[in-house]
Structure 1
């Protein structure tokens, strides 16, 4: 428990919690602004199980980054527009296929489990 037993920590606990909440609020504000502007985004690393920060600002000045951001937003809108114009039946069909494949594999595993169970139960009787 260490530090939690210190009298000074107990006295200053409210102050520490207030400061932590202040930092959390500041980070939330920063995060919301960052997401609204769209200059920073997180991507998965290819070589490790980690994420890394990507930004146009890391490669170019602000003016170029803002121009690139505008291009990215146009691409996203175009992709969303094409996605929204596709018929809903396509997604329903793919969901149905996934459900059917899951049910088929579940049925196979169940049948195999019953078969193995019967073999386990019947083997002692055949040998004895």
Structure 2
């Protein structure tokens, strides 16, 4: 386990602990924070499974309870595979192979930034 993963687990536990015993309306922000951390941890674990563990996109997705079509966009949000996303915002098997090739040769990945996860933005209220 990496230091980043350890920190993510600590943040998830802290958010859940903060929500425990509170009324639902007060617990929601902490539960949302925990859910976001879990989603990020799942995405990063998917990336590690296909890059380092040798899992296929389908196998990694199945292990996470996702369809194969849901894996590519999630991998595109990760630090390690975001630079290998195609123009439609997905990482394909070709992108994974390229990332593995670059890593084996000690080459830096192409310049890119991870895509932010989609978030609900409430409409402004007219007053």
Give the shorter-chain TM-score range: 0.3 to 0.5
Structure with higher Rg: it is 1
After TM superposition, the score normalised by the length of structure 2 is 0.32
After TM superposition, the score normalised by the length of structure 1 is 0.32
Higher helix share: 1
Higher strand share: 1
